[in-house]
Amino acid sequence: MQKDQSPEFTIEVMRLEDVEAATDMRLQSWLDTYVNDDMGVSREWIKSRNAEQRSPETQASRRERFSKGVADGTFAAWIARDRDMVIIGSATPFVDDEGVQHVGSLYVDKRWHSSGVGAALMQKVIDWFDPTKPIELGVVSYNKRAKAFYRKWGFEEVRGSEALFADKIPEIKMIRKPKEDV
């Protein structure tokens, strides 16, 4: 397995046995990032949703989707690990049934923000996709840090794309246009 090296972290392909530890990091990121009482997104609601994400049924479904998607080439996943081999970031791009490319998810432990982990994961995502097609993602509308990060990677907000994720969290769509010279 090839690993991209940094003095502080490594990026590697996610394996099935990494899925739940990566999920735990992602769910902690939800608590660190998405609580917003003004928008009605309480810590208790996120904790409840996180508990559902940790149910045996949801874990089994997640492992099945992971294995199927990796096998059929419609899904990829990378993790970032610190020196102690703890998962500190993950990215899970996919291509949907209509051929649309989606970032899927990209999360970094808050202690590693601005360290290059997110950029290293995003580069993996960009490199995995067909550069002649657009890339879409959904981002929480009040997550200014994430929106600024995605803008640096060429994503633009789609006006009128506001929606509710899980009937609760306001999000917008962002798209990265395809490269014209490829």
**What are the angstrom distances between the C-alpha of 66 and each of 20, 77, 136, 180?**
11, 9, 20, 32
In this predicted structure, the answer to whether residue 182 has a pLDDT above a threshold of 60 is no
Would you state the structure tokens that stand for residue 173, as one six-digit string?
């769509």
* Segments making up each domain of the chain, as ranges: 4-130
Per-residue pLDDT band at 5 (split at 50, 70, 90): low
Average pLDDT over residues 138-164: 97
Express each pLDDT in 9-38 by its tens digit: 999 999 999 999 999 999 999 999 999 999
The CATH number of 4-130 is 3.40.630.30
Mean pLDDT, all residues of the chain: 93
Q: In whole angstroms, what is the distance from residue 171 CA to residue 103 CA? A: 14
Per-residue pLDDT band at 1 (split at 50, 70, 90): very low
Within 10 angstroms of residue 50's Cβ, the number of other Cβ atoms is: 16
H helices of 129-168, in order, are 144-152
